[in-house]
Every structure is written in C-alpha cells, then in structure tokens.
Amino acid sequence: MSLYYVQKLIYQINRDENIRRRFDENFNDLLVDYELSDEEIHALKKPDIGLLYVLGVNGQLLMHYAPLFGIEWFDYLAAMKQGIEEHGPVRAGLYAMTGGGKSFAKENE
C-alpha cells in the first residue's frame, strides 16, 4: 500500500503541465517514477475510481482525475459507491481517519 505515491501522482498530474503531458503521451513510462503496488497501477490505469476511493485517495484529488477519462460528476459519485460495494470500506487515508479503518461513508453505516 503506497497511498502517498498514488496521491502524489494524481496531485502532480492535476497541477504540473509536464507531468500531465507525460500522462497523456505515455502513462506507463510515468508510472515507473512512483512507488506503486500492482493493485494501485491497475486502479490508476483502468481507471477504477471506486477502488482508488477505497484505497484512500482523497476526493479533492480524485474528483479531478475522473474527468481526465471523461467521467462526469454523477458517474464519479456512483463509481465511488460501487467501489465500496465491490471492495469494502475505505482502507487508509483521511476517510479511514477514525474508527479503526471503518469508512464513514453513509452507505457503509
């Protein structure tokens, strides 16, 4: 689990034009620069927005990543809900901050 690097990659894609260009031109080459697990690489490339949410990616980053793949707002929200159903509660990060990793998403209460 290397949530920090997943989030750093998305952060840099969102704000750095050079990183964004590498993302557009050769995503595989860009991914090598980050310490990522196979599951994280799979989620980023697909993209599996629901799994990225469950892995703990902050929505303030994730909501900008989804549109890069043409995912509209309500589809983005639905993808996260589906991710919880498929993969279980959020595993790390802010959304697992309290409650021993229990997600506080309404759907899981």
Partner 1 sequence: MPLVYAGVCSHAPGITGRKHLVDQASLSIRDEFYKKFDEMRQQIESTRPDAMVVVAAEHFANFFMDNMPAFCMGMADFYDGPIEDEKWLGIAKTRIPGNPELSLRLIKSIMQEVDLAYAQEWKFDHGIIVPLHFLTPKYNLPVIPVNINCQGPPLTPLHRAKIFGEVLRRTFDEVPERIALIGTGGISHWPCTPDSGKINHDWDARFLNQFLNHDLKGMTSYSDEETYTEAGQGGFEIRTFITVSAAANGPGDWHYYTAELPVFAVGCTLARLMIN
Token code pair at residue 62: 């994730």
Considering only residues 9, 23, 51, 53, which one is a binding residue for partner 1 as defined by CB under 8 A? 53
Regarding 4 and contact with partner 1 (CB under 8 A), the answer is: yes
Pick from 29, 33, 86, 107 the residue near partner 1 by CB under 8 A.
107
Query: Does 77 help bind partner 1 (rule: CB under 8 A)?
Result: yes
Q: How far is the CB of 64 from partner 1 (least distance, A)?
A: 6
The contacts found for 73-80 with CB under 8 angstroms, 24 or more apart, are 76/49, 79/49, 79/50, 79/53, 80/49, 80/50, 80/53, 80/105
Our finding on whether 91 is near partner 1 (CB under 8 A) is no
Token pair belonging to 69: 């793949």
